[in-house]
């Protein structure tokens, strides 16, 4: 009889320990999910808004976008990427958005309204006008290591690397890659792309 009583008590203790362990694991799982959600929202991704018309017709003033802040953790920015950056020493506290055109080590020049890289006219990825003002890129110059030449897609209504108040962008100033447009949802990398001749719309 005593053995049976002790056995029943042991079973109850094991059940309590098992229930406590399950509850503890459940709490840990909830905490992990909350932390992961916080990490993604606050560290990996960031929501911001487009200011101005310099990225028309790709992005418009007031568009809400998601920035992928980890996009360049394991790889370098590429030509054609729309980057979000905050320049060191800038008086304003908002982000800028522009498209990367020139990469570190490349020689840049704008002539007859087109961009030339290392002496060759590049084929633009997006629909954009030929530039009326070459600015600082009227004469060829070479980008230093970690330095990028950026332009707005609205080429004749954009303050970008052609002008001294913006100039080239250094790697440390890049916040991340413009990834998603939330209003009129779409992936930014697929917007306003130039179509090949004969390609169906």
Tokens of 201: 């719309």
pLDDT tens-digit series, residues 3-53: 555 556 556 666 767 777 777 788 788 877 776 666 666 667 899 999 999
pLDDT number for residue 54: 96
Catalytic pick among 18, 49, 75, 98: 98
Taking a C-beta distance cutoff of 8 angstroms, is the pair 147, 104 a contact? yes
86 is catalytic: no
Q: Domain check: are 78 and 125 in the same one? A: yes
State whether 76 and 159 are in the same domain. yes
Q: pLDDT at position 198, please?
A: 46
> Of the candidates 124, 153, 119, which has an alpha carbon nearest to the alpha carbon of residue 139?
119
Q: Can 90 be counted among the known catalytic residues?
A: no
166-179 residue pLDDT tens: 999 999 999 999 99
Residue ranges of the alpha helices (H) in the chain?
2-39
Report CA 30 to chain centroid distance, whole Å. 29
Point out the catalytic residue in the list 18, 22, 49, 54: 54
Q: Which domain holds residue 19?
A: 1-46
With respect to residue 200, please indicate whether it lies within any of the assigned structural domains: no
Between residues 55 and 125, which one has the greater pLDDT? 55
My answer on whether 70 and 42 are in the same domain is: no
Whether residue 134 lies inside any domain: the answer is yes
Report the pLDDT value the prediction gives residue 164, as an integer from 0 to 100: 93
């Amino acid at each position: 009889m005593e053995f049976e009583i002790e056995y029943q008590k042991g079973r109850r203790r094991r059940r309590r320990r098992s229930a406590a362990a399950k509850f503890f694991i459940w709490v840990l799982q909830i905490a992990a999910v909350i932390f992961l959600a916080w990490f993604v929202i606050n560290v990996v991704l960031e929501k911001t808004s487009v200011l101005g018309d310099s990225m028309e017709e790709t992005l418009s003033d007031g568009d809400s976008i998601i920035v992928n802040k980890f996009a360049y953790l394991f790889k370098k920015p590429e030509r054609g990427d729309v980057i979000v950056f905050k320049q060191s020493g800038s008086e304003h506290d908002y982000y800028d958005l522009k498209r990367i055109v020139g990469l570190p080590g490349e020689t840049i020049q704008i002539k007859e309204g087109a961009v030339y890289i290392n002496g060759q006219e590049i084929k633009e990825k997006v629909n954009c006008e030929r530039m009326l003002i070459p600015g600082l890129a009227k004469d060829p110059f070479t980008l230093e290591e970690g330095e990028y030449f950026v332009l707005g897609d609205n080429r004749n209504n954009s303050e970008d690397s052609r002008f001294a108040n913006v100039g080239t962008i250094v790697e440390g100033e890049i916040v991340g890659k413009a990834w998603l447009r939330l209003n009129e949802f779409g992936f930014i990398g697929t917007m306003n792309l130039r179509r090949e001749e004969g390609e169906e719309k």
